[in-house]
Structure formats: structure tokens, C-alpha cells
Chains A and B, each alone.
Chain A
Amino acid sequence: MKRNLATLMLLAVVPIVMGCGGDSVPDGQEETLVIGVMPKLVGIGFFNAAQRGIEEAGHELGVQIDYDGPTTGDVEQQSRLADTWVARRYDAIAIAPNDPDAIAPVLSRARARNMDVITWDADAQPDARDWFVNQATAASVAHTLMDLMAENAGEDAKYIIITGSLTAANQNIWMEEMEQYRQEQYPDMVNLTPTPIAPGEDQARATQMAADALTTYTELDGIFAITSVALPGAAEALRRAGMADAVFLTGLATPNDMREYVKDGTVTRFALWNPVDLGYLAVHAAVASVRGDLTPGIEVFNAGRLGAVSVVDDEILLGPPMVFDADNIDDYDF
């Protein structure tokens, strides 16, 4: 019997000891908004950078931030944690869902209890959330890339495009926007590959196809590599060919994948949305939504240091992607 009692006491003691690290919602501070912010997963560089912006915005706005998420990119863990936040009656949830369908039921439950729901980084079913903070509109990506090419390879540059697969939806829209912007702004530029080079999501193949292109297109001034796999792949080919001075390579990839190529001068400038600003904007949007500053039909709203941010329908636009170069790349680890 003594031993059974011991079981009972041990079971009870563990949570008491370990539970003390918790940050329960402070009592008696009804006016402090509590915003739950959930990344796709915790502990990776991209979301660690986003967390910096999230906490910055939390400080600035005087709201309490609960930043937590699953340890793997698992939507079921996200759902359970979001349900906990519903039970704790947070004022708003800003979430980067791992699956748009599977997260929808819990977000609907949150909205049914009068919480404001923001999605960021990735969207959920549109009717399950109030606002989506969209980090990469097709136009902003396309314009940033074309401007980079014009500034570095000239407004009459002859370029090729390396994409992922020919069916990659995002990339196809970006390329349409790039072509449209080229016709309007840079009519003297020439796209040598109306059908883009498509190595798929395979970096070695991207290197091979980029190397082939460097020999095929002798008059080449620039290369766009518009997936996070194609850009480091093409950079490898350019470095091996030793043609970095003759051909300007840019595109979209993460700083960690590009760091070595930026350091050795193969790639001077490339783009990606800034996760710090993304997290910062998500919290601003959540707080504005709770305070009633974000209402349907609004076209701009003021998001702290980001200034006036455009709103289209129910999407809040982060604006143009950030340009990385040798001066700033070491500030980012993702």
C-alpha cells in the first residue's frame, strides 16, 4: 500500500515541479492583448528569424506574445496547440499552417469563439481565417527580380530562366509577371528561353543544365534561377565555368544555401522575402484586427516600421522581397 501511495504521489509531483516553468496568462491585466503566434515548426533558422520580428512587434505594441509551435512540421500538433489557445481564450491566433485543410476546423472553432485568426507564411482555407499575410505576391517577386537584372546586367540584357518543374504553379505565375513587366519596363531585354529550363527539384541536375546553357547561349548576359534549388545549382555551374564576371546570376533562395557563392563573388545579389519583417507584420496584422483597425474593404494599414502596407481583399501584402548581398547576408541564418 505504501508503494501504491508512492506511485500516486510521484504522478502528482512531476507536473508540479516541471510546470513551474510555465508562463500562464497574467491575472488582472485584462487590457493586455494576448496573441498566440505559431510557426510551422520551432527551431529552424527561417522561423527563428521570424520570431525576432514577432517579439519586436509584441514589444512595440505592448501585447503579450505566446510564440510556440510543433517540433516537427506536423499539422496535428499545430491543431492541438491552437485548440489549447482557444481554451485559454487568447485574443488572436497568427499561424503558419502546415496544411490548409487540416488546420481549418480548429481555426473555425477559434473564430466561433470570437478570436481573430491570421495566417502567415502559408494560408489556410480562406473561410477559416480573417486575414492572410502574404509574403510573396507574384508581381512583387517578378518586379524585384527584373529590376535586379536590369541594374546589374543592363536594360538590354539577354537572359535565360531556370525554374523547377514546368508545372510548378508559383513559378509559372512569376514568369508570366516577369514577361509582362519586361514588355512594359524593359522592352530591350530578351528572354532566350520562352520555355524555361526545367531541372525539377534536383540541384545536381540544375547544375548540369545551367552548365549546358552557359555553353549553348554564347551571348548570355544573365540567368534567373527562380527556385531555392535552381539558384544554388546554377551558382555551382557558374563557379565551375569561371564566368561570374560575364554572366549575372540571380533568383530566389535562402541565405544559408547561397552564403558560399556570395562570399566568393559568384552571386552578388539575390532575393527572398524577409522572415523578420514577415513575423513583424503578422503580429501587427493580428493586433490591428483585434483592435478593429483592420476591417473588410480597407486598402492600406499602418504596420509600424514597415509603414503603409497594402491590403488586397483579405490579404495583407508584405511588399517586395528582400535583396541579399555580401553586406547583409551574415545577419540571417536560415
Chain B
Amino acid sequence: MNRMTRLLSNVFRYRETVLVGALVILFAYFAWRAPGFFDAFNLLERSRYWVAPGLMVVPMTFIIATSGIDLSVASILAMSAMVMGLAFRDWGMPMYLAACCAVLTGLAAGALNGGIASYVRIPPLVVTLATMTLFRGVAMGLSRARPVGGFPASFQWLGQGNVFQIPGTAANPVYVPFSVLVLLGVFAVGWGLMHRSWVGRFTELIGENETAARFAGIDVSLLKCLLFTACGGLCGLAAVFHTAFYATAKADTALGMELEVIACVVIGGTRISGGRASMPGALLGLLIFGILQFGLEMSGVRSRNIIIIVGLVLILTAVMNERFGNQYTGGGSG
């Protein structure tokens, strides 16, 4: 009996177990309550909406682990999308080059964030709060607030297309979206870097104790700068898939998505004050956020009420993290 309790308590030590449990409960509840929710076709269709925020969740996990934050991710997405749209429509570039422009724009924007934050030593919160407005403004100015459409079908496929049909679904074909596979690939790389390489160890150490990290010989400024730059690059990639999905580049796209991204990371158990990160948790956070929203919509809850419920869940999770977060790391870290 005692052994059983210890086993359970070991399993529940991991925050990810709790998150998986929460996800299972959400699934079970909505499958019972919302007709059409527990349907492979519908779920995979919905998963396309998680690609753009998901691509930004991965680098955000690293940045938050260093005790930083990037509030400008959605604005970088909008600016990159706009540059891509104009490169394609007005500057006569072929589509694949225009898409490269989006990623390059993102990298440049991220480097600007990282450079100011690490080398001028201004807190990332302040830097990215400013660039959040700046990049959004550039997107508005470049496009004169008009959307760009008319992208080729081959490009739209990136966001709307499928790779293969799930075997055994011949009667009601269920397809796997291409963009979702890309997202899973990025998460896999993020997991490897975070939990199986020095990058993750150094990142967490910076968040835990930056001075100690410096004394340990880590080039803290460079690493932080690179993380912000990589984050910008992934925002550019997110812009490509986001634009392909909506077939439109808009300056006011993805409004408020930065909060969704940060929320997913924090739900996933990455401590907002840095030092502790979980890439699987971040993926689970993304899924919980998405499933909660989809399930509520499928049960017919009004849009305005969904905002309230999602907000409540975020507050709850934040409180849990703040209150009990230390326990998971054995109490020795905070």
C-alpha cells in the first residue's frame, strides 16, 4: 500500500503527468458533451490553427527559461507576413524567395530584440513591448493597412494541404495536414536542444542564476541574443504557414497571439521567472489551450464566454505554478 502511494506520488511529481491527465479529462468531457468533437477529421482540421502559435511556443520556452520574455512575436509574424506579401506582389519575387524574405525579416527582427536586450542590457519585457508596437507599425505602414491576397495555390498548400490519408479511413477520408507535421518536427528539435544538449542546460542555468552562469564561462549575452534571433526566425516561419492558411497577408493578423503563446508555455510548466523549462509541457500546454477552445466552441458556448473561461483557466494555472512550482524540482531550486 505504501509502495503504491510512493509510486503514485513519483508519477505525479512530473507536471507533464498532470497535464496529460488534464488533457485526457478535457477530451473525455468534450467527447461526451460536444457532438462532433471526438472526430479525427475535425480534430486534425482544427490542428492547423495551432501551427502558427505552436511554432512560436518552442523558442518562447527557451526565452522564458532564461527569465526573459518576447512580447513581439505576433508583431514579427505580421511584419514578416507583410514583407512576404509585398515581395511577392509588388517586388516581383517568386513565391519561394518571398517566403525566404519572411524568415529573414523574422531573423532580423529577432536579432534587433536580442541585441538590445543582451548588449544594451535593457530588460526583454521593455524591449519587446516597444518592438511589439514598432513591428506592428511597420507592417501597417508597409501595407498601408491593406491586405495582400492572391497567393498561388502551391503556396496555400503549405497551410491548407495534406500529406497523406490516414490508413483505414477510406469511407470518410481523414488527412494529416502538412503544417502540423512541420510543427511536430520543430517541437522535436526544440525538445532535443532543451533536454538533450548543452543549449537547454545553459539556458536553464541563465534563468536560475545569471551571475553564476557568467562565472561558469557561458557567454550569456551571446546565447540570449541567439535565442531571440532564433525566435524571430521561427516567427517568420510561422508567418509563412499562417499566411498560407488564410491565403492573405494582413498587418493586423494574429492580434494577441503573443499572449496565447506565453500562456501555453506557462501552462506547460516552464517557470515564468526562468530556470526551469519543459518542452513536452509546452506542447501539452498548446494542446490544452487548443482543445479547451475547440471543445467549448463545439459545445456551442458563445465566443465572448469562451474568452472568459480560457482566461479563468490561465489564472488558475498561473496560481498553481507560482504556488506549487518549486515542489516539482525537489525544493532545491528556488
Q: Does A12 touch B at the CB level, under 8 Å?
A: yes
For A27, list chain B residues within 8 Å (CB). 35
* Interface pick from A1-9, A45-53, A259-267, A325-333: A1-9
Interface contact B303-A42, CB-CB below 8 Å: yes
* Interface pick from A78-86, A166-174, A232-240: A78-86
Interface of B is mostly: helix
Q: Does B309 touch A at the CB level, under 8 Å?
A: yes
How far apart sit A86 and B45, CA to CA, in the bound complex (Å)? 10
Question: Quick one: given A14-B316, A25-B35, A102-B246, are A71 and B303 in contact (CB under 8 Å)?
Answer: yes
Interface of A is mostly: helix
Interface contact A7-B312, CB-CB below 8 Å: no
Interface contact B301-A21, CB-CB below 8 Å: yes
Q: Name the interface residues of B101-129: CB closer than 8 Å to any CB of A.
A: none
Q: How far is the CB of B75 from chain A (nearest CB, A)?
A: 15
Interface contact B299-A24, CB-CB below 8 Å: yes
From B253, B296, B320, contact of A76 by CB (8 A): B253
For B29, list chain A residues within 8 Å (CB). 12, 15-16, 19
Question: Quick one: given A15-B296, A83-B45, are A99 and B248 in contact (CB under 8 Å)?
Answer: yes
Q: Does B247 touch A at the CB level, under 8 Å?
A: yes
Question: Quick one: given A84-B297, A101-B149, A102-B149, are A21 and B305 in contact (CB under 8 Å)?
Answer: yes
Q: How far is the CB of A98 from chain B (nearest CB, A)?
A: 10
Task: Digitize A198-234: 1 where CB-to-B-CB distance is under 8 Å, 0 elsewhere.
Answer: 0000000000000000000000000000000000000
Question: Quick one: given A15-B29, A83-B45, A87-B46, are A99 and B160 in contact (CB under 8 Å)?
Answer: no
Interface contact B316-A1, CB-CB below 8 Å: no
For A22, list chain B residues within 8 Å (CB). 34, 296, 299-301
Question: Quick one: given A83-B45, A101-B150, A101-B247, are A15 and B26 in contact (CB under 8 Å)?
Answer: yes
Interface contact A7-B22, CB-CB below 8 Å: yes
For B320, list chain A residues within 8 Å (CB). 3, 7, 10
For A104, list chain B residues within 8 Å (CB). 247
How far apart sit A102 and B147, CA to CA, in the bound complex (Å)? 9
From B36, B245, B303, contact of A70 by CB (8 A): B303
Interface contact A87-B303, CB-CB below 8 Å: no
How far apart sit A15 and B85, CA to CA, in the bound complex (Å)? 39
Q: How far is the CB of A252 from chain B (nearest CB, A)?
A: 23
Question: Quick one: given A3-B324, A15-B309, are A105 and B246 in contact (CB under 8 Å)?
Answer: yes
For A99, list chain B residues within 8 Å (CB). 147, 248, 250
For B13, list chain A residues within 8 Å (CB). 1
For B313, list chain A residues within 8 Å (CB). 11, 14
Q: How far is the CB of A113 from chain B (nearest CB, A)?
A: 9
For B252, list chain A residues within 8 Å (CB). 74
Q: Does B93 touch A at the CB level, under 8 Å?
A: no
Indicate the size class of the contact surface on chain B.
35 or more
Task: Digitize B303-324: 1 where CB-to-A-CB distance is under 8 Å, 0 elsewhere.
Answer: 1110111001100110010011
Q: Does B42 touch A at the CB level, under 8 Å?
A: yes
From B21, B160, B297, contact of A8 by CB (8 A): B21
* Interface pick from B207-215, B226-234, B287-295: B287-295
For B317, list chain A residues within 8 Å (CB). 7, 11
Q: Does A66 touch B at the CB level, under 8 Å?
A: yes
Question: Quick one: given A69-B303, A109-B45, are A84 and B150 in contact (CB under 8 Å)?
Answer: no
Interface contact B22-A11, CB-CB below 8 Å: yes
Task: Digitize A47-80: 1 where CB-to-B-CB distance is under 8 Å, 0 elsewhere.
Answer: 0000000000000000000101111101111011
From A8, A19, A25, A87, contact of B296 by CB (8 A): A19
Interface contact A71-B304, CB-CB below 8 Å: yes
For B156, list chain A residues within 8 Å (CB). 105
Most buried by A among B15, B34, B313: B34
How far apart sit A283 and B73, CA to CA, in the bound complex (Å)? 40
For B327, list chain A residues within 8 Å (CB). 3
For A102, list chain B residues within 8 Å (CB). 147, 149, 246-248, 250
For B309, list chain A residues within 8 Å (CB). 14-15, 18-19
Q: Does A88 touch B at the CB level, under 8 Å?
A: yes
From A69, A72, A83, contact of B46 by CB (8 A): A83
Interface contact A10-B301, CB-CB below 8 Å: no
Task: Digitize B1-45: 1 where CB-to-A-CB distance is under 8 Å, 0 elsewhere.
Answer: 000000011001101011001100110011001111101001001
Q: Which residue of B lies closest to A66 (CB)?
A: B300
Q: Does A184 touch B at the CB level, under 8 Å?
A: no
Interface contact B298-A88, CB-CB below 8 Å: yes
Interface contact B12-A5, CB-CB below 8 Å: yes
How far apart sit A214 and B295, CA to CA, in the bound complex (Å)? 60
Q: Which residue of A lies closest to B328 (CB)?
A: A4
From A3, A5, A87, A101, contact of B298 by CB (8 A): A87
Q: Which residue of B lies closest to A128 (CB)?
A: B247
Q: Does B302 touch A at the CB level, under 8 Å?
A: yes
How far apart sit A88 and B36, CA to CA, in the bound complex (Å)? 6
Interface contact A8-B300, CB-CB below 8 Å: no
Q: Name the interface residues of B210-264: CB closer than 8 Å to any CB of A.
A: 245-248, 250, 252-255
Closest 10 CB pairs of A and B: A101-B149, A102-B248, A22-B300, A87-B42, A12-B25, A22-B299, A11-B22, A84-B297, A101-B248, A102-B246
Given A18-B308, A86-B45, A105-B156: 7 more A-B contacts, CB < 8 Å: A8-B25, A15-B30, A71-B304, A75-B250, A83-B49, A87-B298, A104-B247
The 12 listed contacts between A and B (C-beta, < 8 Å) are: A3-B320, A3-B324, A3-B327, A14-B316, A15-B26, A15-B292, A19-B299, A24-B299, A24-B300, A71-B303, A76-B246, A87-B298
Q: A residues within 8 Å of B by Cβ?
A: 1, 3-5, 7-8, 10-12, 14-16, 18-19, 21-25, 27, 42, 66, 68-72, 74-77, 79-81, 83-84, 86-89, 99-102, 104-105, 109
